[in-house]
Amino acid sequence: MNSYPHRLVALSASLLIELMCYAQAPNLGLLLAEADTSEGYTLFTPGLNNNVYLIDNCGEIVNQWNFSETPGSTCYLLEDGTLLRAGADSLELRDWDNTLLWSYAMKDNGLRQHHDIEPLPNGNILCLLTDTYTKAEIIAAGRDSGNVGPVFKLDKLVELQPIGTNDASVVWEWKFIDHFVQDLDSTKLNYDVVADHPELLDLNFPSSHNSDWTHVNAVDYNPSLDQIIISARHLSEIYIIDHSTTTAEAAGHTGGNANMGGDFLWRWGNPQIYRQGGPSNQQLFLQHDCRWVESGYLDADKISVYNNGGDGTGTFSSVHLITPEISGGIYQKQTNRFLPADFEWSWNGAFFGVTMLEGKKCGAFPLPNGNFLICESSRGQVSEITKNGDHLWTYKNPVGASFFDQYDTIAQGDNTIFRAEKYPGSYAGFVGKDLTPQGIIEDQNSNSDSCATVVLSEMEGVKAESITMVNPIVGGWVQFNQIVNAAFITITDIRGRVVFRQSGFSGSSMSVELRPALYFLRIQSGDVNGSLKIIVL
């Protein structure tokens, strides 16, 4: 008696149960995964937890790390597969398997690190730090005595060189206090005409944040330029400075590749600070996460930024691309105002009908294809959009001080994330690493369960649609109806978990050991790139 029909009926009933959606849509973990979602893996560190997670597009963990303290506030996956993370009081470097390789007690060594760090190609680390000055010190620098409290905080940058397993040395330093101008008191330091010095910061520009005047919240490095960009939230400006200087040159106005010492090579967002406009010319409002788009990406070398205050009305936040104008290595100005005159690209909109509006934190991470990964910090939500504003993917962090279950009510801020980054599958840090999905963080998610459906793609040569095979699969043999030359074959179950991998395959059949179920067989090579739905009996 032929048992195939009975087995197919039983399998169909089983699949129906596995694939049916829950009556209630998930409110945690994977909320949306469209077919056009950019491939790759998303890295995030929950703000109230010691863990760091690397997840796939189905919201499943592919790796995780556990650190000694809560974040302060960012982490980076390096090209050798190690993870660098800033904690509340220290820096730590861990390998792929979570083994601690290096740690440095920043606070114990008198370094008050905050917000962001930036790994450098030479293995060193740029850190944002805070220095505190007395009222007398800041008045001597030219600050209005009637506009300063008992203490005055200013940011600085240091470059740390890790030493051994628990030490570091400061090998370079830059400070705001070395690059001021003021026209209030000719008997004090830094006296000059403010409008004549766009490369300097007016120490008396009025702000409602007098005790924490600059509040730098992001740092990024451009290796081809050897330059650094930083975001000063409380001044609503972003600045580029030269990293090719010595520490002594960085404290002055000459030296380095640009021969401007540590002065601003470029600044943007609020030209009224250097007397080249008024309030109507301001374009950044309490922004975060300024960075250069990576080399090789669609918008390479442009600058992206998350603009928390949008247009200044406080009704929405926005994301932008900015393209500085450079000629002969010099950032161009028009009537002494740095160019460009406006954003190259802007987006503000809504996710699931809720307008993007975040007063603090957040980030916008450019992806290789020109899309953006946007982090809404207080909601713990990470989403991908296209430049046309198409909403492709959203993941909501299920981790706070403790772990949340699906459908738990989460107060705003209880699952906060400072930022998130996404790395393509070709990223060097993944070479030789096991990226097998390990399941979701939360207790259940119907979106993750059904996420494995892959839309076929067409490439030059053989189309995925033209590949045929014997289906269902019986006896543990996959039988193609033609010779397939594939560099890589992957089979995943309906939950997106990899159950079979083979590289360098060439032939028309291969042996697999799989339980009866529905699977997706993906073929990736120069002439084939697509997926086939298969049934194993």
CA 54/CA 356 separation, integer angstroms:
24
100 shares a domain with 76: yes
127 shares a domain with 108: yes
Residue ranges of E strands in 333-387: 333-334, 337-338, 345-347, 350-351, 354-355, 363-366, 372-376, 381-385
Last residue of a domain, one of 423, 449, 475: 449
495 shares a domain with 415: no
510 shares a domain with 428: no
525 shares a domain with 390: no
469 shares a domain with 439: no
CA-based radius of gyration for the chain? 26
- What is the predicted pLDDT for the residue at 496? 58
The CATH number of whichever domain residue 278 belongs to comes to: 2.120.10.30
Last residue of a domain, one of 449, 464, 489: 449
CA 365/CA 384 separation, integer angstroms:
9
Structure tokens belonging to residue 127: 């850190």
486 shares a domain with 429: no
**How many structural domains comprise the chain?**
2
**Omega within 30 of 0 (cis) for the link into 472:** yes
Q: In this structure, which amino acid lies at residue 410?
A: I
Rounded to 10 degrees, the C-alpha dihedral 402/405/408/410 comes to: 40
460 shares a domain with 437: no
In DSSP terms, 69 is beta-bridged to none
- What is the predicted pLDDT for the residue at 516? 85
463 shares a domain with 413: no
- Inter-residue contact 202 to 270 (CB < 8 Å): no
The CATH number of whichever domain residue 492 belongs to comes to: 2.60.40.3080
Q: Which of 116, 107, 112, 106 is nearest to 162 (CA)?
A: 106
Cβ atoms within 10 Å of 183's Cβ, excluding its own: 18
3-state helix, strand, coil in the chain (%, to 5): 10, 40, 45
Would you write out the chain's pLDDT as a tens digit for each of its 537 residues?
455 444 444 444 444 444 443 458 999 999 999 989 999 999 999 999 999 999 999 999 999 999 999 999 999 999 999 999 999 999 999 999 999 999 999 999 999 999 999 999 999 999 999 999 999 999 999 999 999 999 999 999 999 999 999 999 999 999 999 999 999 999 999 999 999 999 999 999 998 888 899 999 999 999 999 999 999 999 999 999 999 999 999 999 999 999 999 999 999 999 999 999 999 999 999 999 999 999 999 999 999 999 999 999 999 999 999 999 999 999 999 999 999 999 999 999 999 999 999 999 999 999 999 999 999 999 999 999 999 999 999 999 999 999 999 999 999 999 999 999 999 999 999 999 999 888 899 999 989 887 843 332 332 333 444 567 788 888 888 888 878 776 578 887 765 567 787 777 888 888 888 888 878 887 776 555 667 778 887
Whether the CA torsion 22, 25, 27, 32 is positive or negative: it is positive
CA 77/CA 119 separation, integer angstroms:
10
- Show the domain range for 93: 22-449
395 shares a domain with 457: no
Q: Which of 522, 515, 520, 521 is nearest to 537 (CA)?
A: 515
Q: In this structure, which amino acid lies at residue 15?
A: L
60 shares a domain with 32: yes
**Omega within 30 of 0 (cis) for the link into 450:** no
Rounded to 10 degrees, the C-alpha dihedral 220/223/227/230 comes to: 0
472 shares a domain with 326: no
Last residue of a domain, one of 420, 449, 478: 449
Q: In this structure, which amino acid lies at residue 213?
A: W
- What is the predicted pLDDT for the residue at 459? 29
Sequence-distant (6+) residues with CB within 8 A of 517 are: 11, 14, 15, 493, 494, 535, 536
- What is the predicted pLDDT for the residue at 208? 84
Name the DSSP class of 389: -
- CA 451 vs CA 6, 27, 32, 97, 288: distances in Å: 28, 16, 9, 27, 32
Buried b (16+ CB within 10 A) or exposed e, 500-523: beeeeeeeeeeebeeeebbbbbbb
